[in-house]
Structure 1
Amino acid sequence: MTATIDTAADAGAEPDARSPRRLPVPRDAKAPMRATSWTVGILILVALHWIAFESTDFRLDSLVSGAQGMGRFIAEAFPPDLSPEVLSDGIQGVLQTLWVGLLGTTVSVPFALLLAVFGARTTAPNAFVYQVARAILSFFRAVPDIVFALIFVTAVGLGPFAGVLALICHNTGVMGKLWSEAMEEVDPGPEQALGTAGANRFQVVANATIPTVLPQLTGLLLYRFDVNVRSSLVLGLVGAGGIGLLINKSIKTFQFDQMLTYLIMVLILIVVVDLASAWIRKRLQ
């Protein structure tokens, strides 16, 4: 009798609430559409690359067939010319390249900072000023630094001054855009607190926005300095001074051993700049 009652009780007992229940898996209605979008996107990407390969005459067989010419070019560059005259000219060119990159970065800071403040939605006084600042930044960023260098060479003549001016213009556009985006992502809390306390827009920017985002601005500045040192090398090829001018001259006169010496100096310069930038970033963290 007892066994019968227990069995009946077990049969009528409710399932344990802690036992797992199988729930129906919801069907993703957008899965087919998403798969179709991915397929179409991949096909478009493949088609664009095919067109690009055909338009640029991308042929690996041409590279293989020209390997002998490259080998002869490299063979003529070894050993590098380490004569005192070449080393002296190279050191002067490297230092000049460094100074062009340094001035092109630092002198553009006030212009980039001003345009960044006016070009950020969170700090611009109004929509008109925001659009004007964005247009100026877009123009300076869109024109390559080498084009600016060609323009300034016609104005001030050959030499590093044209390279400095070119980097100032281009770096103002690039760095201003990066800084404005950093300012737009800043925590609005300190800005709202100062605004509530009666601070004007200038006081809010100077005492809340810039101090909050200063480490990020500094990191972007060091990055742009690294890039500008490399850019100043290219600007030398169009007459803007620096070691790029010496490299161009050695190539035109078929003095490839001197070219290799200058390239080794450029490599040393880039490594030193990278190490210095990394050291400064570490100190600022």
Structure 2
Amino acid sequence: MIRRLEGLAWILAILGALLASFRYLDLELASLFSSESGGHMFSYVGGFFPPETAPAWLAQIGHGALETLAISAIGSLIAALFGALLSLLAAGRLGKTAKVLARLLLNALRSVPELVWAALMVLAAGLGPFAGTLAIALHTSGVLGRLFAEALENAPISPAEALRGAGAGAVAAFFYGTLPNVLPQWVAYSLYRWENNIRMAAVLGFVGAGGLGQMLYVTLSLFQQQRAMSVILAMLLMVIVVDVASSWLRSRLA
């Protein structure tokens, strides 16, 4: 009975918080579903069709898609390398002090969203794909570094200990005893984050970081809905292709 009352109290508290949120934000949900709003939404969505298919515009989209892929790929590669180095420290391989400092750095890197990093990098490095690459690399380094460190902590220590007992050095024991056990996980984590980074790279253009996102921002700002629809379809196609390829690669690794 006490648990039921406690559960009921939590439900009532959550419902009260939701109602208070609607009231505080002054959301007018009734106007969203009115006939006038529906007509405006239908008219606006209709302006996106048919998508722009001019050869010159499609060529620009292709260039933007390659730029987005390059931003995500290079950013993910830098993050994987930097995250692997930090994971050694975060896993306590070089002492407790280095472990604490590395974990603080990883927490700081991943606690700042990619869009915020991109805005900062645009101010530091200027508009263009370089800012987007740095933003993805910084945030993803924090994510992958933490995942890599957890994989190291959960890896079996007996192979490395056996090599150390046979006279191998610490570096050789790591590369031949520990790394083979965690490398498939590291690669799978990196591929999964690459999938996410492609989506994010397409969004970072809204703050001037290049790629398809910047094209979408410009076309929407100029009310060129048909061109914007072509960019949206290109984003969707690119994400589907990369998702399928990455899932296949991760299944092969598993």
Structure-2 residue corresponding to 1:78? 49
Q: Distance in 2 between matches of 1:55 and 1:226?
A: 37
Is 2:53 aligned against 1:93? no
Task: Indicate how the Cα distance of structure 1 residues 41 and 211 shifts in structure 2: closer, same or farther if over 3 A, else same.
Answer: farther
Instruction: Report the CA distance between 1:99 and its aligned residue.
Output: 0.6
Q: Contact conserved, 2:90 with 2:100, CA < 8 A, in 1?
A: yes
- Of the candidates 67, 71, 80, which is equivalent to residue 109 of structure 1? 80
Matched ranges for 1:2-41 at <5 A: 38-39=7-8, 41=10
Instruction: Give the structure with higher Rg (CA).
Output: 1
Q: Cα deviations across residues 260-282 of structure 1 (Å, max 9, x unaligned)?
A: 01111111100110111022123
Is 2:210 aligned against 1:236? no
User: Which residue identity does 1:90 align to in structure 2?
Assistant: I
Secondary structure at 1:108's aligned position in 2?
Answer: helix
- When the two structures are superposed, what TM-score results if normalisation uses the length of structure 1? 0.81
Q: Distance in 2 between matches of 1:240 and 1:258?
A: 19
- When the two structures are superposed, what TM-score results if normalisation uses the length of structure 2? 0.90
Instruction: Report the CA distance between 1:72 and its aligned residue.
Output: 1.3
Is 2:234 aligned against 1:277? no
Structure-2 residue corresponding to 1:128? 97
Instruction: Report the CA distance between 1:205 and its aligned residue.
Output: 2.9
User: Which residue identity does 1:280 align to in structure 2?
Assistant: L
User: Which residue identity does 1:75 align to in structure 2?
Assistant: G
User: Which residue identity does 1:155 align to in structure 2?
Assistant: A
More displaced, 95-104 or 65-74? 65-74
Matched ranges for 1:1-285 at <5 A: 38-39=7-8, 41-57=10-26, 60-65=29-34, 66-120=37-91, 123-285=92-254
Task: Indicate how the Cα distance of structure 1 residues 56 and 181 shifts in structure 2: closer, same or farther if over 3 A, else same.
Answer: farther
Q: Contact conserved, 2:88 with 2:94, CA < 8 A, in 1?
A: no
* Greater fraction helix: 2
Q: Contact conserved, 2:48 with 2:225, CA < 8 A, in 1?
A: yes
Identity of aligned residues (%): 35
RMSD over aligned Cα atoms: 2.2
Secondary structure at 1:77's aligned position in 2?
Answer: coil
Q: Cα deviations across residues 127-171 of structure 1 (Å, max 9, x unaligned)?
A: 111100001001110111111111111222111011001111111
Q: Contact conserved, 2:118 with 2:209, CA < 8 A, in 1?
A: yes
Instruction: Report the CA distance between 1:43 and its aligned residue.
Output: 4.7
Number of equivalenced pairs? 252
User: Which residue identity does 1:113 align to in structure 2?
Assistant: A
Task: Indicate how the Cα distance of structure 1 residues 175 and 54 shifts in structure 2: closer, same or farther if over 3 A, else same.
Answer: farther
Task: Indicate how the Cα distance of structure 1 residues 214 and 72 shifts in structure 2: closer, same or farther if over 3 A, else same.
Answer: same
Q: Distance in 2 between matches of 1:102 and 1:250?
A: 25
More displaced, 144-153 or 34-43? 34-43
